Homo-oligomer: A and B are copies of this chain.
Amino acid sequence: MKKAIVLLSGGLDSATCGLVARNMGFDVYALSFSYGQRNAFELLAAQKVAKCLGVAESRIIDIDLASLGGSALTSSRIRVPKGGGGACVPVTYVPARNAIFLTYALAWAEVLGGVRSGDIGFVPGEHEEKTGFCTDIFIGVNCVDYSGYPDCRPEFIAAFQKMANLATVAGVGGHGIKIHTPLMFLSKADIIKIGIKAGFDYGITHSCYDPEPQEGIACGACDSCLIRKKGFREADVVDPTKYVR
């Protein structure tokens, strides 16, 4: 089976994205990040999702975005805004986050493709026969029901893919790295319907930016909770999420 890397955040989009990858016949390699999120519930959810998807391997990479600061999601000095609406790029934007996540995925794809195998150099094109490149990366970005982050848009993904093909041995060898974004143009309701149809339990996913600290109960009022609630309502599906309000 062909290998694909799926970025899993623990949210409902990336879980659905993993389902799509699996249903396309890929062996899923789940990649999550510990990046100084203000809450650890996302990562617990990501691990539950990885297990539920039956992934071939699941990794959590520790990255230090918090030391750079600059986001309500990683800095305790910036308040998570409530009530929705407002400016083009909200403070919950984590600077260059998706670019960083995708670049790590790219590095792992090179390694999964066999770049670790020898102690002599690689000749692009001659290597494929030996191990098979890993050239498929899935990310659950969406530009319909989203928070206005620049790195969720299709033009960003297209530019990233082009860069990826110039940055790597697989790309230089002409094997065509593909960044899959199966959810890009779907509404949150349509995303939820994919999972429901596959029998997936969205109760294990976590979307809230600002959960109650003990048990991780979703606040129900941040941008992410509001979008999630609206999605379940529009999909006409019971929302399994427990909210503070």
Number of copies of chain A assembled together = 2
Contact of A100 among B93, B107, B124, B169 (CB under 8 A): B107
Contact B122 A163 (CB under 8 A): no
Q: Given A81-B121, A88-B123, A169 and B64 touching (CB < 8 A)?
A: no
Q: Given A159-B162, A172-B150, A95 and B119 touching (CB < 8 A)?
A: no
Contact B87 A120 (CB under 8 A): yes
Q: Which residue of B lies closest to A72 (CB)?
A: B119
Contact A118 B91 (CB under 8 A): yes
Is A110 in contact with chain B by the CB < 8 A criterion?
yes
Q: Given A78-B116, A166-B159, A171-B150, A107 and B88 touching (CB < 8 A)?
A: no
Residues of B within 8 Å of A89, CB to CB, are 121-124, 169, 172
Contact of A91 among B97, B121, B171 (CB under 8 A): B121
Contact of A111 among B70, B115, B120, B123 (CB under 8 A): B70
Q: Which residue of B lies closest to A108 (CB)?
A: B68
Q: How many whole Å from A100's CB to the nearest CB in chain B?
A: 5
Contact A106 B96 (CB under 8 A): yes
Contact A95 B115 (CB under 8 A): yes
Give the size category of A's interface with B: 35 or more
Is A13 in contact with chain B by the CB < 8 A criterion?
no
Contact A95 B121 (CB under 8 A): no
Encode contact with B along A81-106: 1 for CB under 8 Å, 0 otherwise.
10000111111011111111001101
Encode contact with B along A176-190: 1 for CB under 8 Å, 0 otherwise.
000000000000000
Contact B155 A107 (CB under 8 A): no
Contact B68 A122 (CB under 8 A): no
Is A144 in contact with chain B by the CB < 8 A criterion?
no
Contact B64 A122 (CB under 8 A): no
Contact B166 A163 (CB under 8 A): no
Encode contact with B along A156-180: 1 for CB under 8 Å, 0 otherwise.
1001101110111101100000000
Residues of B within 8 Å of A159, CB to CB, are 159, 162-163, 166-167
